[in-house]
Amino acid sequence: MNYKLFFFLSFFIFSFSKDTPKHSSMANVNVLKAYSQNILGKNVGYYVEFKNNASNEVDALKWEALFYDNFNDLKGQSEGNWSSGNFISSIKKGETCKDLETAWVKDASKVFIKITRVHFTNGKSFGK
């Protein structure tokens, strides 16, 4: 009887605990790392690094940036994007790409990236 009560209470307690936020990848394009830049308690921007593990070159990315404090409470979100062009080469297979974005989020100390769209040079696109 004590074991059943223990498992029931454990399940009950863990069902209300928060999941730790994580980066989210798409179409074999991974988020290697992301970190925020804080000045006087405000998040003024963030760096993000992507790696292309797909067989085709990536020429555009869109993502959602989710900002959290040290308690893992969501403090805000914003959208980011990256595109190749005249001076910026596409991301070849196995290569990485770094981007810097601005964001003004009060009390945020961490940023997590969720890729929402990926476009390849062969015209294929994933996400919405």
Q: Are 38 and 128 in contact (CB under 8 A)?
A: no
Structure tokens at 66: 């989710």
pLDDT tens track for 6-39: 555 555 554 445 677 899 999 999 999 999 998 8
CA-only gyration radius of the chain, Å: 19
Cα separation values, 7 from 1, 10, 27, 31, 53, Å: 10, 5, 38, 36, 41
pLDDT-based confidence at residue 117 (cuts at 50, 70, 90): very high
Do residues 125 and 118 lie in contact, with contact meaning Cβ atoms separated by under 8 Å?
A: yes
Residue 3 within any structural domain of the chain: no
Give the tens place of pLDDT for each residue, 30-55.
999 999 998 887 788 999 999 999 99
CATH of the domain at 66: 2.60.40
In a domain, 96, yes or no: yes
Could you give the percent of the chain with pLDDT greater than 70? Answer: 86
Domain assignment of residue 105, yes or no:
yes
The domain of 87 spans: 32-127
Tens of pLDDT, residues 82-112 = 999 989 999 999 999 999 999 989 889 999 9
